[in-house]
Homo-oligomer: A and B are copies of this chain.
């Protein structure tokens, strides 16, 4: 375990590096933070901290910067929980009031808001359709050969798809089928439905008619098709403000990654289950994706009606203001849940 003075010095170094992005020398620490000891003493401590793996040196005559382990210790053991300021609270409230009317706007604007407050890239995983509970499905007329299929969940999400009518089948026939299914499936999660229950129903109804089979196919395909999750992005250009991304090659790698929506989904879902405690931080090499191993991610999930359905995250260089970002995330994700209550049946 680190002794008290080492902790203070590590804390000072991380704080300083976060705000200046410059390696820090012993002199600087002695001057800025009044520890009552000389630079030489601090030098000795810093040499120890480097040996222990908390600090790194770019070259012999540069100051030290925190290592991944250093940041981890900082986040876990040194960071005092900070409160979000009143100014920020009102910013959040006004933001939503002014901009978010429709449900999808809420997510888009959450992404914008987060990137603006944290000056980093933000990601918002919209509610995952597959996690919601089925409420009912309905077929509606479109023209002679096609119909519209609606799937409604109890979180208020509605998905629609134009489908081709099976040969010789009318909308009314499909709707009759739908009514039977609605009774049976109501309240189940869409994932459950997709995986097993559809098959059961099909067997039950098999006796009825050949058309049922066709209709099942349609519904099944629709369920699968609509499942793709959406990720809203904010502040991708914030990257370019960070000195660690002066290198164009790095920028490209990251931007390329941000264009891959399925990959982002996966990224956000990986630690989605761990967020009971609130906010989860993944630092540097802890990230499983190569492209962001010199980035950190601060993540929180949100629930609708008790179910975890999506998450929000901030992505930036490991040199990010963890304290501030974590408190913002904590507040925003709670506020978001609050807002989404209105959409829950």
Binding site for B on A (CB under 8 A): 101-103, 135, 138, 140, 142-143, 146, 148, 150, 152, 156, 158, 160-162, 225-226, 234-237, 240, 246, 248, 251-252, 255-256, 259, 343, 345
Q: What are 9 sample pairs from A and B whose C-beta atoms fall under 8 A apart?
A: A102-B161, A103-B162, A140-B150, A146-B156, A156-B162, A234-B259, A235-B259, A237-B255, A240-B248
**A237 with B225: CB separation less than 8 A:** no
* Complex Cα–Cα for A161 and B160 (A): 12
* Complex Cα–Cα for A236 and B252 (A): 9
Best-surrounded residue of A158, A161, A234 (most CB of chain B within 10 A)? A158
CB distance from A133 to the nearest CB of B (A): 13
Tell me which residues across on chain B come within 8 A of A146, comparing CB atoms. Answer: 156
Tell me which residues across on chain B come within 8 A of A140, comparing CB atoms. Answer: 138, 150, 152
**A252 with B225: CB separation less than 8 A:** no
**B251 with A240: CB separation less than 8 A:** yes
* Complex Cα–Cα for A234 and B237 (A): 16
Residue of B158, B226, B259 touching A237 (CB-CB under 8 A)? B259
**B148 with A152: CB separation less than 8 A:** yes
CB distance from A182 to the nearest CB of B (A): 12
Tell me which residues across on chain B come within 8 A of A138, comparing CB atoms. Answer: 140
Tell me which residues across on chain B come within 8 A of A142, comparing CB atoms. Answer: 135, 152, 156, 345
CB distance from A9 to the nearest CB of B (A): 34
Tell me which residues across on chain B come within 8 A of A158, comparing CB atoms. Answer: 148, 150, 160, 162
Q: A225-B102, A255-B237, A259-B237 are in contact. Are A160 and B162 (CB under 8 A)?
A: no
CB distance from A44 to the nearest CB of B (A): 40
Tell me which residues across on chain B come within 8 A of A259, comparing CB atoms. Answer: 234-237
* Complex Cα–Cα for A160 and B138 (A): 13
**A343 with B255: CB separation less than 8 A:** no
Residue of B160, B234, B246 touching A160 (CB-CB under 8 A)? B160
Tell me which residues across on chain B come within 8 A of A226, comparing CB atoms. Answer: 102
* Complex Cα–Cα for A37 and B236 (A): 52
* Complex Cα–Cα for A235 and B345 (A): 40
